[in-house]
Amino acid sequence: MDAAVKPSATQARCYQRRRPEQTLWYRTVQTHFETWLALADGPGDESTPAYIEQAFRRYLDCGILAKGFARAHCDECGHDFLIAFSCKGRGVCPSCNTRRMAETAAHLTDHVFPRLPVRQWVLSVPKRLRYFLQRDTALQGAVLRIFLRGVERCLREHSPGCVSTARIGAIAFIHRFGSSLNAHTHFHCCIVDGVFQAVAKIVETADTTEPITSVDFHAATHLDIVAIAQVQAKIRQRILRAFVRRGLISKGDRDEMLSWEHGGGFSLDASVCIGGTDRAGLERLLRYCARPPFALEHLHTLDAEHLLYHNPKPRTDSPRDLVLTPLELIDKIAALIPPPRAHRHRYYGVLAPNSPLRAAVTATAPLPVVAPPVVEVTVADAPPHRAASHYLWAMLLARIYETLPLVCTLCQSPMRIIAFITEGSSVRKILEHLGESTLPPKVAPARGPPLWEMEAAHRQAGNDTQWDSRPQPEPVFEFDQRVAW
């Protein structure tokens, strides 16, 4: 190979510092967040919840070297680079959202789902009911329980030979958003396609007989459109009844909604099923279920006053491209930030943390792929409860982009973190030495109207040379600069 070509090809696969301050979304928040906040908190309005303001403020510090960093060092050639702290926020920060999605999917694939077929069940409810669901987490939980109980009953009926107490194993994701940044609470559940039951057995050894409990799996069969339509009808009845019980709709409304045709706004889809040996497929499905509400690569500048959000999967009732002012965009993203302590996914049935069968069911998850899959594991053999594994971000990146980030760009040796620098004067000294900016990007103060003329004049005056108005290029790979490795 030509020696002159080799380093650049390798370099493209090595670590490149993420520069969030150059992205369109960062610049939008940086320029307009204070104005949005002042308008949202205006007289007569409810003040913005603290968690929303905090999420945006922390995002503005995420990946910014001037706010502190870790130092990675190559022992082989002495090369150093810096890794800025990340915000670990939920909802606003594209980098931290992506990391959370990858981490969740990897954990569930490697440590939770047994090597059995998994089906995705997606439930959405009529717009009239969504209004109540959007802010009421207790109501979301109640609807989710009705949904999962309905699926459990169906899977029992379609799993020959199981007992009436057999349980399903499910992970439920509550989505608060649709594909066009709209508020749309709906449920994605990944459910093992069958049911589990405990079976008491007597094991005879040379000198003793010992009772043990093992888990039997009964695979679902003949789960066709008719069966799924029956589940949908049952769930619809029960959910409407629950809304009446809570006084959210009247009995008359319920009867009217039950008379609507074509599901009456309820939709249940169960067409996606992943085979027991397709672990990569399962991880892809779980990433899809754990995905963040918006993706940076779909955001573009349209003109001086408008941004364009491209909806990759428009439905018949939603637009392909959304044209928004920066304030409207911030408004939409703010509405999708989950409230603190709201769980993004929940475990149900044999996968619930308190289930006596959980350890035995999840024990097959880390095994190498075998066909046909193992369907029976004794409780006695099950490993002790594992703490949620903490993934190295480096390893996660390797899984997504098939490359290890902590590799020296000069000699390709592995690098390691040798220090964390958080003290202001040391941060400044090091950044000055490297020629990096020692100040965090300036957050624009709140402005009154006319907002846009001022912004345009500012840009024309040449004060905005860093502004990258082109569509954001895909990064070679996204590198989350969190330091908790």
Task: Point out which residues bind Zn ion (CB under 5 A).
Answer: 62, 74, 76-77, 79, 86-87, 93, 96, 408, 410-411, 413
Give me the amino acid identity at 263.
G
How many Cβ atoms from other residues are within 10 Å of residue 198's Cβ? 17
Q: How many CB atoms are located within 10 Å of the residue 314 CB?
A: 14
In the complex with Zn ion, which residue's Cβ is closer, 411 or 457? 411
| Parallel, antiparallel or unpaired: strands 80-84 and 321-324 | unpaired
Backbone angles phi, psi at 417, to 5 degrees: -80, 125
Q: How far is the CB of 409 from Zn ion (least distance, A)?
A: 8
Report, in Å, the least distance between residue 251 CB and Zn ion: 47
Q: Do residues 297 and 317 touch, judged by C-beta distance below 8 A?
A: no
Nearest approach in angstroms of CB 482 to Zn ion is 8
Q: Please report how close the Cβ of residue 410 comes to Zn ion at its closest, in angstroms.
A: 5
Of 96 and 171, the one with the shorter C-beta distance to Zn ion is: 96
- Residue 289: CB minimum distance to Zn ion, A: 21
> What minimum distance in Å lies between the beta carbon of 480 and Zn ion?
7
Compute the least distance from the CB of residue 415 to Zn ion, in Å. 7
Nearer of residues 228 and 404 to Zn ion, judged by Cβ: 404
Nearer to Zn ion, 76 or 381 (CB): 76
Nearer to Zn ion, 76 or 210 (CB): 76
Q: What are phi and psi of 349, to 5 degrees?
A: 70, -135
Inter-residue contact 185 to 140 (CB < 8 Å)? yes
Beta strands across the sheet bearing 416-421: 80-84, 69-73, 416-421
Least distance (Å) between residue 182 CB and Zn ion: 24
| CA dist list (Å): 309 to 176, 203, 306, 314, 469 | 18, 62, 10, 12, 14
Amino acid at 133: L
By C-alpha distance, which of 171, 185, 89 is closest to 135?
A: 185
* Comparison of 90 and 175: residue with beta carbon closer to Zn ion: 90
Q: What is the DSSP string of 25-62?
A: HHHHHHHHHHHHHHHHT-TTSPPPPHHHHHHHHHHHHT
Q: Which is nearer to Zn ion, 180 or 481 (CB)?
A: 481
374 vs 410 by CB, closer to Zn ion: 410
